[in-house]
Chains A and B, each alone.
Chain A
Amino acid sequence: MAIKAPLRRTGPAAAVSAPAAPRGAVAAANWRESLFRRAVTGVVIALALVWLVPVAWTLDTSIKPETSTIIIPATWKVSGPTLSAYSAVFSATDLGRWYLNSAIVTVIVTVLTVITTSMAGYALSRGKFRGKGFLFALILAGIMIPPQALIVPLFRELQSVHLINTYWALILPQVPAPISVFIFKKVFDGVPVEIEQAATVDGAGWWTAYARIALPLVRPTIAAVSIFTFVWTWNNFLWPFLAATSPTMMTIPVGIGTVVSGVGVVNALQMASAVLGALPLVLVFLFAQRQIVEGVAGTGLK
C-alpha cells in the first residue's frame, strides 16, 4: 500500500508555530498592569504633592509683600513679588555669620566622623584582639541611647574644660556616630579579605591596607555617611542652641529660630530665612543625588 507523504506547505505560512496564547488573556494582563502602573503613579504624585506643597507655599510667601501674607483667605497669588524679605534677613540678622558657623561645624564634623568611624569599623572588621565582640556590642548599645539623654552631662563636661561657646563645643559631641561605625564595619566585612592579604604580602602595613586598599573600595559608603552626617549636623538645633549661647557662634537652625522668636510673626521674613537656611542642603542634594541613592542602596538604610 502506498504511503502518502503528508502535504507540505511552502512559503511564510509554512512555518510551524506553537499554539497562540488566548488574545483575551494577554490583553487582560496588559490592562491590569497598565492600571496598576497608573495607580502607583497617582499615589506617588499625591505623596510628592504632600511634600511639595509646604515647600512651594514657603517660597510663595517669601516673595510676597508682608501685608499680602496675612490676607484671609490665604491665597497663592503673589501681587507685586518682592525680595524685600530676603534683603531684610541679611540686613536685620547675622545670616552670613550663621552660614559660616554652620559650614565650619558641618564640614569638620563630617570629615572627622568619616575618618574616625571608618577606622573604628575597619578595626572591628579586620582586627583580631580580645574583647572585640564586647567592644562592638558596646558601640551598638550607643545607638539605643537618645542624644537628648546625654545633653546635661555633655554640657557640664564641656563647661568644665571651658569649651562652651567655641567651635569645639559644637563639633566634638557630634563626631561619635555609633550607627556609622556599624555601617562601616558591615561594609568592610564584605570586602574580600584576600585583597588586603595580597597587599600585606606586597609589603603594606596596617595603615596602608586601610587607607590605600580598603577605604577606596567603600567610596559609596563614605559618600552615604558623609551626606547623612552633613544633613544631620546642618539641621541639628538642640545641641548648638545649648552649647553656643553667643549670637556670633549660632548656626543656621539656631539663628533662624531667633528670627522667629525675636520679631514675632513676620511671615515673609520667616519664610525667607527658612528658604535661605535650607538652600545649601538643597544644593547638596541636587549635586549629589546619585551618590545619595547609591549610598543608601549600598548601606541598606532607608
Chain B
Amino acid sequence: MAQIVLDQVDKVYAGGVKAVAELSLDIADGEFMVLVGPSGCGKSTALRLIAGLEELTDGTIQIDDQVVNDLPPKDRDIAMVFQNYALYPHMTVEQNLAFGLQQRKTPKDEIHRRVAGVAKMLGLEDYLKRKPAALSGGQRQRVAMGRAIVREPKAFLMDEPLSNLDAKLRVNMRASLSQLHDRLNVTTVYVTHDQIEAMTLGDRVCVLRDGVLQQVDTPQNLFNHPVNLFVAGFIGSPAMNFTMARLERPDGSGPGAGKAAVSFAGYQLPLSAEMISGRPGLESYFGREVILGIRPSDFEDASLADAGWARMPVTASVTEELGSEILVMFLLDTPPVENKDTAALATDEDEDEAGISLAEGKTLWTARASARSRISAGSGVELSVDTSNLHFFDPESGLTIGSKAGEIPAP
C-alpha cells in the first residue's frame, strides 16, 4: 500500500499537444481514486505517467514517498489492468497469473501458492489450464485483475477495465471491484469515462478536462457542490439542466414584492433567504444575468410532491418510462445556454452522429418524476421544484457562485 502524489505534472507530446497540464493530486494510502472525464481529457495519460509507460515533461510523481520519475515501470511496484485486458494470448491462465512473479524471481512454491489463492478468490480455479481465447469477457477481466492482485503491489492502476463488458456484467463487476478493494485495501487509481462508475466506485473522484484538473472530491460533494459548469453538467445522469436567468427582487406592492426570485423563460422561482445566505457572493448577482442549473432529480410531479415547493407548469414533449421513474422532457421558450463549458459537454465521442433536433432554438430540459405519476407525452403537467438545491453559475467564468468546494479545486 502506498500514497501516490502528483506534483505539477505536465505531459506535452510532439507538436505541442498538452495532454496533462500542471496536475497536482494526492492519493492517500488505500484510497480508491477515480479519474473521470470525457475522451481526450488526459485521464489515461495521467495513469500511464504514474505507471511509467509515458515520460513526464515536467513535475514529479511520488509513490510511497519515493520520486519515481526516472524509474522504469517494473521498478515502481505497481500493477496495471488495461482496457482490453492485454492478456498473453499464447499462455494459459495459470501462466498469465504467474508471469509477473517469475520475472521477479519469486520461488516456485510461493508462485504456486499465490496463483492458487488468487484463482480461488476470483473463481478461476476451473480455468487455469485454458488460454484467453477460450474465456468469456468476464473471465478475461477477472484474469486481468488476478494478474494484478497476485503481484501484491503497492498500487493498482486500472484503465477502464469494465468498458468492454456488457451492461449487466459491468454492474456485477463493479460490485466485485468494490468488495475487492474493501478486502485488499490497496491504493487504486481507476480511470473511466463513465460517471456512474466513478460515482459508485470512488472514495474520491477527480474530474479532468483537457488535461486540467477541475475538481476532486467525494462523489456526493461533486454532485451537490460542483465547482463549475463543466463538473455540474458532467456529473449526474440525466445531466443538469441549464438556462440563462436573472436574479430579482420584484418592486411594487404585490405578493412577491421584495422577495428574492430567479426569473427565466417566463417562470419565476422564489429564493429563500436561507438559500441565498448559504451561497456567499450570490447577493452581488441580483439584477444581473446568471446561469441557472436545476438537476432533474429536483423536480417532481406537483400532485405527488411537497406542497411547499415552487411550481412550474410545463408541456411534456417526450416521456421515458424507466419502470422505477419517469423522465419528462419539456421545452423552455429560451435559447440554449451558450458557454464554452456547456459546449464542451455537448461535444463527445459520437459527435459525428447526428441526432434528431427536438429543441429548434429552444432549451430542452429533463425532469425526473415518480413512477406513480400520470404524465404522458403531449400533456400539460405541473412540476414542483426543490428550490433549495438550485445552482448558479457566473456566465463569464462558468464557476459556481458561492460553491463551498470551489474557490480552488481541492488537490
Contact = CB atoms under 8 A, between A and B. Distances in A.
Nearest to A194: B86
Given A201-B53, A201-B74, A194 B84 contact: yes
Nearest to A197: B53
A198 B103 CA distance: 12
B103 A194 contact: no
Contacts of B72: 200
Contact of A200 (B53, B84, B87, B147): B53
B86 A198 contact: yes
Contacts of A213: 88
Contact of A203 (B86, B87, B90, B104): B104
B91 to A, nearest CB: 8
Interface string B68-83: 0000111000111011
B89 A194 contact: no
B270 interface: no
B74 A205 contact: yes
A192 B84 contact: yes
Contact of B51 (A195, A201, A204, A217): A201
Mostly helix, strand, loop or mixed at chain B's interface? loop
A46 B151 CA distance: 63
Contact of B99 (A192, A197, A202, A205): A202
B82 A198 contact: yes
A154 interface: no
B73 A192 contact: no
A91 B26 CA distance: 84
A231 B53 CA distance: 42
A201 B84 CA distance: 15
Contacts of B78: 201
A204 B86 CA distance: 14
B100 A203 contact: yes
Contact of A197 (B79, B82, B89): B82
B402 to A, nearest CB: 44
Given A195-B88, A213-B88, A216-B90, A202 B82 contact: no
Contacts of B89: 195, 217
Contacts of B83: 194
Contacts of B53: 197, 200-201
Contacts of A194: 82-84, 86
Residue of A194, A208, A216 contacting most chain B CB atoms (<10 Å): A194
Contact of A208 (B80, B86, B87, B103): B103
Nearest to A195: B86
B80 A198 contact: yes
Given A205-B74, A208-B103, A217 B82 contact: no
A201 B52 CA distance: 8
A163 interface: no
Contacts of A198: 80, 82, 86-88, 147
A202 B151 contact: yes
A242 interface: no
B104 to A, nearest CB: 5
Nearest to A204: B103
Contacts of A217: 89-90
A201 B51 CA distance: 8
A217 B86 CA distance: 13
A213 B53 CA distance: 17
A201 B74 CA distance: 5
Interface in B139-185: 147, 151
B142 to A, nearest CB: 15
Nearest to B53: A197
Nearest to A200: B73
A203 B80 CA distance: 12
Interface in A198-248: 198-205, 208, 213, 216-217
Contacts of A195: 86-89
Given A213-B88, A216-B90, A201 B103 contact: no
Nearest to B55: A128
B258 to A, nearest CB: 64
Contacts of A204: 74, 99, 103
Contact of B73 (A201, A208, A216): A201
B82 A203 contact: no
Contacts of B151: 202
B80 A201 contact: yes
B361 to A, nearest CB: 46
Interface of A: 192, 194-195, 197-205, 208, 213, 216-217
The 8 closest A-B pairs by CB, nearest first: A203-B103, A202-B100, A198-B86, A194-B86, A203-B74, A216-B90, A201-B73, A201-B80
14 contacts: A192-B84, A194-B84, A195-B88, A197-B80, A198-B88, A198-B147, A199-B88, A201-B74, A201-B78, A201-B79, A202-B103, A202-B151, A205-B74, A216-B90
Given A198-B86, A199-B99, 12 more contacts: A194-B82, A194-B83, A195-B86, A195-B87, A197-B80, A198-B80, A198-B88, A198-B147, A200-B53, A201-B73, A201-B74, A217-B89
